[in-house]
Structure 1
């Protein structure tokens, strides 16, 4: 059981490390897409289209 826990812990650490590495790449891509398509950086509030 200890081995599975250790392996799960290592896997979680590796996932966290990879996600952390990808964060700047994702941010750069989002900026590039916003610039290319002239998208606003503000979040638009759409509300409820059904008026409930």
Structure 2
């Protein structure tokens, strides 16, 4: 959707945005799942969690 509140000149000069990296960390009893997404691909690690 185009933001019409800006002039056409300003809209045309905005830099393009791209994904650099994203990630997820999910903790459940006894486990930690870490997933990292970059331009190079997706990696994931599942570890046994320490007792807290």
- Shared fold by TM > 0.5? no
Using structure 1 for the length normalisation, give the TM-score.
0.27
- Structure number with higher helix proportion: 1
Higher strand share: 2
